Amino acid sequence: MFGLGIPELLLILVIGLVIFGPGKLADSGKALGKSVREFRAAASEKEEPKKIGDSRAEEK
């Protein structure tokens, strides 16, 4: 993953905690996770368009 190991990721996390604080960092993580989920859903929907009467669309 981009040549980053565990020590580098921990250093980035510590710097993020110092700059943003634990509350804002958690909110930023939630927002980032939500954005990634939405992007993946949009990308998979683009690859496989939903048909009328699709069983997955009815489950929501």
Structural domain spans, the chain: 21-48
Calpha distance 20→16 (Å, rounded): 6
Residues in CB range of 28: below 8 A, 6 or more apart: 16, 20
pLDDT tens for 21-53 read 888 988 988 998 999 999 999 888 776 666 666
Q: Which residue matches tokens 């905690």?
A: 17
Length of the chain in residues, anyone?
Answer: 60
Q: Is the pTM of this model over 0.75?
A: no
